[in-house]
A and B are shown apart, each in its own frame.
Chain A
């Protein structure tokens, strides 16, 4: 399954809930304000790095750039563009948005 999270982890619990419910081998794509979670020094950084052991973590590049965060992405996070976003949806048989 592809899980899509769009809100900041410091604003809302959606990312935390998603990480708790995503089954091993799933993909998690962070878009919009959720991308802050995959940046160095963010409060969610440790959680993201722990999750990366079992989940494939992606972040949308244009949203990182729009927030001045493109140069601060955690190791192990895959940055994709909108083409990559489309591919992720196509490649996974189902997807779920955590709003």
Chain B
């Protein structure tokens, strides 16, 4: 987006923004529209973390193919986040284990946290946006 450079709010304030993703993709719109917020936030030079917990970890699955349900496949967008300097992607081990997933199942590199580590990460945020 060519107008992204002008979107900085000009205040110089940098806050810790956390985007909380707890829902699976496609059954609801939150994964897709949540991602759209994160992409816009990239233009504002904030300290952004994306947290995937509970069913949110399913958003990052490899091998997503939405042709059969005739819904736009946005899964590759997670790989584009790095190009927007959104590099802090976290999942928790407990959510992964509960769903039989490992890091090898995911489409992007993530940092895997324990429940306590994720709890502490959440506690230190300035702004948490939930979808």
Contact = CB atoms under 8 A, between A and B. Distances in A.
Chain A interface extent, by class:
10 to 19
Sorting the interface of chain B by its residue count into under 10, 10 to 19, 20 to 34 or 35 or more gives 10 to 19
In the complex, which of the residues A21, A22, A93 has the most CB atoms of chain B within 10 Å of its own CB atom?
Answer: A21
B54 A21 contact: no
A93 B128 CA distance: 11
B127 interface: yes
A41 interface: no
Contact of B130 (A23, A94, A98): A98
Interface in B23-53: 53
Q: Main secondary structure on chain B at its contact with chain A?
A: mixed
A94 B125 contact: yes
A17 B54 contact: yes
Given A13-B54, A21-B119, A22-B119, A97 B126 contact: no
Given A17-B22, A20-B115, A21-B118, A94 B127 contact: yes
A21 B122 contact: yes
A26 interface: yes
A74 interface: no
Contact of A26 (B54, B118, B123, B126): B123
18 contacts: A1-B122, A13-B54, A17-B22, A17-B54, A23-B119, A23-B122, A23-B123, A94-B123, A94-B128, A95-B128, A96-B122, A96-B125, A97-B128, A97-B130, A98-B22, A99-B22, A99-B130, A99-B131
Interface of B: 18, 20, 22, 53-54, 94, 115, 118-120, 122-123, 125-128, 130-131
